[in-house]
Amino acid sequence: MGVLALVEGGRRIPDESATAPADPALAELAALGATGRVDLARADEPPEALGALARLLGLSAPSGMLANGWFAARDADAVSDDAAGVWARVGFTHWSRKREDLLFLSPERVALTPQEAATLAADFADELAVDGWRIAAVLDDGWVIAHPEPLTLDPIVPAPLLEGLSGRDALPTGPDAKRLSQLLTTIQMLLARHPINATRKSQGRMPLNTPWIWGVGGAPDLTGALSLTGGLLLSDDPAARGLGRFCGMQAAALNESQPDWGGWAQQCAEAGANGPVIVHLRAPALLARHGDWAGWAARLSAFQVEFLPPLRQALARSGASLTLCSAYDLDAAGGRGLRQETIWVRASGQTLMAKRRFWHRRLPGEGESLSGEALGRSALESP
């Protein structure tokens, strides 16, 4: 039993061919416990692909994106594991003309509220139903929609990656792209005359003039997933929580925009004494991707100073283990993911609070190289 903390973008690699300088927490736990390397994320996978988490949970993540919409619906109890059809995430943003092109803003910058998402869902549901679409779940940042017929599409850019992209480059492609483009156009027309934008303008907020549909897919093949009944997964990503729920875990939301490090540590320690716990943090990768390296460094510093010490103390008393793993390691310049193994470290019981001595010279990553599934099983399954 114990806690596995998966930090998206938790390490920054100065040079792709160089050994990364480990952060203090990785260095200390590596010297006291066990360490090695693990192949989790791929260079072409953003955090929204959920590839690292899927591999830890025993799933063979395909190239491209997992069905993010299906997993978000799973978190909302809006889909069964054998349901037919297709699911997708819907977010709302703004695009504006620049020269002869249309460029997107990130949905994070237009700041859709949960109440606005619910209002739009209630007002647009009948229009979407004309073409067979239903709103399966309303999320804090948009919707999950479903259709009884499958769609075949090329991978679609996740909504958080839209910032600065051209409409020509981002719009759907693939055999069924026309169907999705028609749905985008329908929602655009509904937004154009909806009073929500007059209210937003009066508040000095950016109007919503386009939806974005992504994470499209049907029920995935989840053969081989770990059975973690009674465990707990904490994440601010509804699709990540849906992954945990499929594996039998309970799931709870974290608000990474307003971190409660002490409260999270207590919650993890209490649950980790009795079952497996996963803490999934993606804010560092998102901050780095937007070039906010100061925010990235501050978030990781708070993780090490405010979250890890009380968690280590509590887990040491209960005899549980703590595994740290950074997925989606970042390059030094643009915050892109690197295609390489990353580091894991683990300590348990009183070792978590032992003093590091000068003869403890093991460096992070100097140990066994594991698959994602092997690391997940060793960290989360009962001995």
Instruction: Please report the DSSP string for 188-244 in residue order.
Output: HHHHHT-THHHHHHHTT-----EEEEEEEE-----TT----TT-EEEES-HHHHHHH
pLDDT on residue 117: 95
Contact 68, 220 (CB under 8 A): no
pLDDT on residue 75: 93
Contact 79, 317 (CB under 8 A): no
Contact 274, 102 (CB under 8 A): no
Three-state secondary structure call for residue 135: strand
pLDDT on residue 15: 45
Instruction: Please report the DSSP string for 254-323 in residue order.
Output: --TTS--HHHHHHHHHHHHTTSEEEEEE-HHHHHHHTT-HHHHHHHHHHIIIIIHHHHHHHHHHHT-EEE
pLDDT on residue 98: 67
Looking at the whole model, is its pTM more than 0.85?
yes
Contact 179, 29 (CB under 8 A): no
Handedness of CA 46, 50, 54, 60 (dihedral sign): negative
CATH 3.40.720.10 intervals, the chain: 2-64+226-380
3-state helix, strand and coil shares in percent for the chain, rounded to the nearest 5 = 40, 25, 40
What is the token pair recorded at 188? 């655009």
pLDDT on residue 20: 39
Handedness of CA 298, 48, 4, 15 (dihedral sign): negative
Query: How large is the C-alpha radius of gyration of the chain?
Result: 21
Q: What is the pLDDT along the chain (383 residues), one digit of tens a residue?
A: 789 999 988 877 664 443 433 477 777 888 778 888 888 877 667 777 788 898 899 886 555 557 889 999 999 998 877 778 899 999 998 887 766 667 777 777 788 899 999 999 999 999 999 999 999 999 988 999 999 998 888 888 888 777 777 777 788 888 999 999 999 999 999 999 999 999 999 999 888 988 999 989 888 777 788 889 889 999 999 999 999 998 899 999 988 888 899 999 999 988 888 889 999 998 888 888 777 888 888 888 899 889 999 999 889 888 888 999 887 777 766 666 655 678 888 888 888 777 655 445 677 778 888 888 899 999 988 65
pLDDT on residue 62: 55
Tell me the C-alpha distance between 336 and 325, whole Å. 18
pLDDT on residue 21: 39
Class of domain 2-64+226-380: alpha beta
